[in-house]
Structure 1
Amino acid sequence: MSMATYEVLAASHNALDVTAAFLVGLVIAGALVWAVRFGMKVRDQESPRPLPEEQPHLPVGGAVHEMREMREPDEMPVASEEKERLMPYQLHHSGSRTGKDQKRLRWLPGRSGSFGGGGIGHV
């Protein structure tokens, strides 16, 4: 084979690579166009977004702020031998009563401030 034959074969091989790359790019572009059109079709089927008037607004009194209060635990009812066992609906949530003393417990200066720090903590 002559050198010219090799050049023709190489040129045809390069043209085949370029054509294949172009076709793969065309398939990818077609897939992207299809995906965008499919997404638009799905979005058209969704319920409309709420209007600005339908959005939630602040209450008339303004923003609601956090309220702190000290709670007291309820006593655990004791089941006696004659009674059946306690059922969950017979129990109350702990801390369901407002405490008489609303002063918040604080750590005292000079005492341990960490949990498990070895100090005696709040007295």
Structure 2
Amino acid sequence: MNVIAYQAAATNPAGVIALLIGGLLIAGALVWAVRLGIKVRSREPGPPRRHEQPTLPESGPVHETREMREPNEVPRAADESERLTPHDLRSSGSRRSENQKRRRWNRGSSGSFGGGGPGKT
């Protein structure tokens, strides 16, 4: 719109009244939405009380366990024409290792490929 149209809208009382009515409708819709939200929120249950909160078991807090794992071998089909299906496979990709001793870093090894050290000598 150009300047003349803005001036015409400002001087026209019908345009000003339409803007006021539109603003009042938007304000009324916002007030209605807030009241509806308050009404819905009042029907919801409140937060749990202190005695309803979860408690620790009698044995105390549960701690994580560490164990060494080793991969399960994928079973092979008896012959090439047989196909393995999902129920032929085990449920987990690893199992508990017999040796639970943790592998440690050795002095002189880089620790990873491209780690910058001389590697195993």
Gaps of 5+ in 2: 1-9
Answer yes or no: is the 8 Å Cα contact 1:107–1:121 preserved in 2. no
Task: Indicate the RMSD between aligned Cα atoms, in angstroms.
Answer: 3.5
Q: Indicate the larger mover: 82-91 or 102-111.
A: 82-91
Counterpart of 2:38 in structure 1 is 40
Q: Deviation above 3 Å: which 4+ runs of structure 1?
A: 15-29, 118-123
**Rg (Cα) greater in structure:** 1
Change (3 A) 1:102 1:109: same
CA distance in structure 1 between the partners assigned to 2:68 and 2:119 by the alignment: 19
Change (3 A) 1:120 1:78: farther
Equivalences for residues 17-96 of structure 1 within 5 A: 26-46=24-44, 48-52=45-49, 53-81=51-79, 84-92=82-90, 93-96=92-95
Answer yes or no: is the 8 Å Cα contact 2:108–2:118 preserved in 1. no
Which TM-score applies when normalising by structure 1?
0.62
Change (3 A) 1:107 1:121: farther
Gaps of 5+ in 1: 1-11
CA distance in structure 1 between the partners assigned to 2:118 and 2:62 by the alignment: 38
CA distance in structure 2 between the partners assigned to 1:73 and 1:110 by the alignment: 28
How far did residue 106 of structure 1 move?
2.1
CA distance in structure 2 between the partners assigned to 1:54 and 1:83 by the alignment: 60
Counterpart of 1:99 in structure 2 is 97
SS at match of 1:72: strand
Q: Identity of paired residues, percent?
A: 54
Answer yes or no: is the 8 Å Cα contact 2:108–2:120 preserved in 1. no
